[in-house]
């Protein structure tokens, strides 16, 4: 799996059995892009792929040379101001106010393995031979700065990761105004762009648009990756679909403000840029200091969207998520939030846990309201000690009693936030983001702690450490219930303010890292009032995330389908909740709710004390089913078959690595009348293997199930003797396939 440098042509070729990435050192010492796509046979010289031209009004870089203009050259990491009029990947303000810089090639090194990024989440390798890394150093001679472009290509995946490190070797301060993680200049605009967009309770909807001239992009300036957009975009050829065609995926391993955009110039070149959003970013580098950008993960597929997603799933599940819980079976939990909200005491919690234990549930999670004087959302955030009035015997005794039932114990925290009505705020009002003395924006009656400050992080860490050491705790749900506003770090100077957004996220990462190193046995789940910070950066610290506060099974089809574009099923927090649903008021069957929630971490969020014996028995059966199939669901290969964004039906399936078993899920929202016959073509099976189809009286070879399809016709199609039990609206069918 080589990374090759061809000395004569000054070309770098990163390639494995599936993908190639080519660039070269060009005439002015910068780097020019040559190719990104399906694997090419290596050769000594690809310089014919470097295109230049002479066009009216173009700025040319060399006196008397009218065919070298950076405005019309595809580049590797472009700047603005020395010929290129397009959006840049970086921008530096020099001490004299000029923003003109010219970084030129100085050296490079190629080595096995993959470096860590200091203080930042990133994909990794367990053995050096899994990947190879190229570091290209460029220098700016006038201001004595160094730029290191870092590339890693994995051997077994069509994956190339990229990031950049800036180093100031000058005696003068240099100011980064923009530092994106990577750029790709593609030679045409014949692409459809896919993004994941939404809002609270409808996160990560799949949105498509054709590339047009000018800018098209997504972003967050909310201090978190956001509900509105995810730090991920896809470019696919117009005829590409889930199973065929060329697809390029771009994902950012970061949890804060981001920009992901495609600029199409008037000559049809498409420039992809991804990284930290430049708004509010101003990073001063003093002599000897450096700045590291987040990691961009690029995935190539010539077999459609499913292949791209499967690569991200495997990479992020096994080489981004870390720790004890990365590969372990996740416990089936019950969370008390929708059962009690803030209205509980120790006896109510114990009775709910006792009921859960009798159903085979494995983990009890105590949600918001257990700390300080917390009886509603107006007080006590920041006071992470037990509410003795609400929990008369103490939190430790309650946790031990729950353990005595055979359940693990977990709890909810929101360490980044504070209420004005709290001991912490009364003691340190200057620890929140906002200028002291000015009006502050609140959200959910809470304010954001300034995690850019070490003393704030240390204070919160000390409280949580004491709490965790005192409890038999197995799980933490780390919430973050508002986005950032009023960004000002009290007590710090003007220069510091431009660093605050990014230092906040680095502070969150640091606190996570300290806690998981101190408590490696705890399973952390990230949350941000649902899915406002469901991103790769979080997966590095917490292997699963609460996908959305919307637990309605019908809405979850869209949310989980969109999430699966890039995130592994094992990371998707999914619960069976009450009917009528608390967010939508929709009534769905216990079966439907579970059949959707199985394709995630799986758990319950409802009041078991109000359920009928019939529903309790169904839960017992569901728990048994999930325990039997969770390894297949979380570690198998996931296929999207029918999109909820394109019709009344949704379907997906997961296939074991050895293709000896599979689980197919089919969902129909509204009951149709007098329709045609219904077949579902499956994917990923072994063509030559006979599969037993659960609940049907015939078996099929894999080729038949994939080419002809699984027959799902029922009375809606006029089939009176259908094997499928009629369920009306909001129905789901789970079909197990087993090789025989």
Please give the positions annotated as active site: 479, 549
| Three-state DSSP state, 191 | coil
Contact 231, 535 (CB under 8 A): yes
HEC sequence for 105-138 = EEEEEEEECCCCCCCCCCCCCCCHHHEEEEEEEE
- Choose among 391, 402, 327, 412: nearest CA to 361: 402
- Choose among 302, 309, 330, 345: nearest CA to 408: 330
Contact 430, 486 (CB under 8 A): no
| Three-state DSSP state, 288 | coil
Instruction: Give the integer Cα–Cα distance in Å for 214 and 262.
Output: 8
Instruction: Give Cα 557 to chain centroid, integer Å.
Output: 18
Dump the DSSP string for 572-624: EE--EE-SS-TTT-----HHHHHHHHTSSS-EEES-GGGS-HHHHHHHHHHHH
Tokens of residue 385, six digits: 């000690």
- Looking at 48-98, which runs of residues are DSSP E strands? 90-93
Instruction: Give the integer Cα–Cα distance in Å for 327 and 476.
Output: 18
| Three-state DSSP state, 170 | coil
| Three-state DSSP state, 43 | coil
Instruction: Give the integer Cα–Cα distance in Å for 168 and 146.
Output: 6
Alpha carbon distance, N-terminus to C-terminus of the chain? 38
Task: Classify residue 585 as exposed, middle or buried by CB count within 10 Å of its CB (0-12, 13-18, 19+).
Answer: exposed
């Amino acid at each position: 799996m080589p990374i090759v440098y061809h000395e004569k042509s000054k070309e770098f070729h990163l390639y494995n059995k599936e993908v190639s990435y080519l660039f070269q050192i060009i005439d002015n010492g910068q780097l020019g892009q040559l190719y990104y796509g399906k694997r090419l046979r290596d050769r000594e010289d690809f310089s014919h792929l470097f295109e230049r031209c002479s066009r009216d009004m173009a700025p040319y870089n060399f006196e008397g040379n009218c065919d070298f203009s950076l405005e019309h050259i595809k580049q590797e990491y472009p700047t603005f101001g020395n010929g290129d009029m397009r959006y840049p990947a970086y921008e530096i303000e020099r001490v004299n106010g000029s923003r003109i810089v010219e970084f030129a090639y100085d050296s490079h090194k190629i080595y096995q393995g993959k470096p860590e990024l200091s203080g930042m989440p990133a994909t990794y390798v367990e053995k050096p031979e899994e990947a190879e890394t190229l570091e290209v150093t460029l220098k700016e001679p006038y201001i004595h700065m160094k730029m290191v472009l870092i590339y890693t290509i994995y051997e077994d995946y069509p994956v190339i990761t990229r990031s950049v490190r800036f180093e100031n070797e000058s005696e003068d301060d240099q100011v980064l105004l923009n530092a994106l993680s990577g750029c790709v200049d593609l030679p045409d605009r014949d692409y459809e762009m896919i993004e994941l967009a939404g809002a609270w309770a409808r996160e990560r909807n799949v949105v498509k648009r054709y590339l047009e001239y000018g800018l098209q992009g997504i972003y967050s300036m909310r201090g978190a990756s956001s509900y509105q957009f995810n730090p991920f975009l896809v470019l696919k050829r117009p005829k590409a679909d889930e199973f065929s065609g060329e697809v390029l995926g771009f994902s950012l391993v970061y949890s804060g403000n981001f920009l992901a955009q495609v600029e199409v110039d008037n000559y049809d070149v498409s420039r992809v840029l991804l990284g930290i959003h430049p708004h509010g970013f101003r990073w001063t580098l003093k002599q000897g200091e450096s700045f590291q950008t987040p990691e961009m993960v690029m995935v190539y597929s010539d077999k459609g969207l499913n292949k791209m997603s499967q690569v991200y799933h495997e990479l992020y599940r096994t080489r981004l998520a870390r720790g004890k819980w990365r590969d372990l079976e996740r416990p089936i939990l019950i969370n008390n939030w929708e059962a009690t909200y803030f209205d509980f005491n120790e006896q109510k919690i114990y009775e709910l846990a006792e009921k859960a234990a009798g159903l085979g549930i494995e983990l009890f999670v105590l949600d918001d309201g257990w700390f300080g004087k917390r009886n509603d959302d107006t007080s006590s955030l920041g006071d992470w000690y037990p509410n003795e009035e609400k929990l008369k015997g103490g939190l430790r005794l309650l946790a031990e009693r729950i353990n005595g039932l055979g359940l693990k114990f977990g709890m909810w925290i929101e360490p980044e936030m504070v209420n004005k009505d709290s001991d912490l705020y009364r003691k340190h009002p200057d620890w929140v983001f906002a200028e002291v003395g000015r009006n502050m924006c609140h959200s959910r009656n809470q304010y954001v702690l300034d995690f850019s400050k070490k003393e704030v992080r240390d204070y919160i860490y000390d409280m949580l450490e004491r709490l965790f050491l005192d409890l038999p705790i197995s799980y933490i749900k780390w919430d973050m219930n508002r986005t950032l506003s009023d960004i000002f770090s009290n007590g710090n100077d003007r220069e510091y303010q431009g660093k605050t957004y990014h230092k906040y996220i680095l502070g969150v990462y640091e606190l996570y890292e300290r806690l998981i190193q101190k408590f490696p046995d705890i399973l952390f789940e990230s949350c941000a009032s649902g899915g406002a910070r469901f991103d790769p950066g979080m997966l590095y610290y917490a292997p699963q995330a609460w996908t959305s506060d919307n637990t309605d099974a019908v809405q979850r089809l869209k949310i989980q389908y969109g999430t699966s574009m890039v995130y592994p099923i094992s990371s998707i927090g999914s619960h069976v909740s009450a009917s009528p649903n608390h967010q939508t008021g929709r009534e769905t069957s216990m079966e439907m709710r579970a059949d959707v929630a199985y394709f995630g971490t799986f758990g319950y969020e409802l009041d078991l004390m109000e359920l009928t014996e019939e529903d309790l028995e169904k839960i017992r059966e569901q728990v048994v089913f999930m325990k039997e199939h969770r390894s297949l669901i979380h570690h198998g290969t996931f296929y999207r078959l029918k999109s909820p964004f394109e019709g009344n039906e949704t379907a997906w399936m997961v296939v074991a690595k050895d293709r000896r078993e599979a689980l197919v899920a089919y969902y129909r929202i509204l009951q149709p009348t007098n329709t045609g016959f219904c077949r579902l073509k499956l994917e990923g099976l072994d063509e030559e293997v006979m599969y037993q189809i659960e609940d049907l009286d015939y078996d099929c070879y894999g080729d038949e199930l994939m080419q002809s399809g699984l027959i799902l016709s029922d009375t809606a199609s006029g089939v009176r003797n259908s094997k499928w039990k009629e369920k009306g609206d909001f129905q789901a069918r789970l079909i197990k396939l087993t090789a025989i």
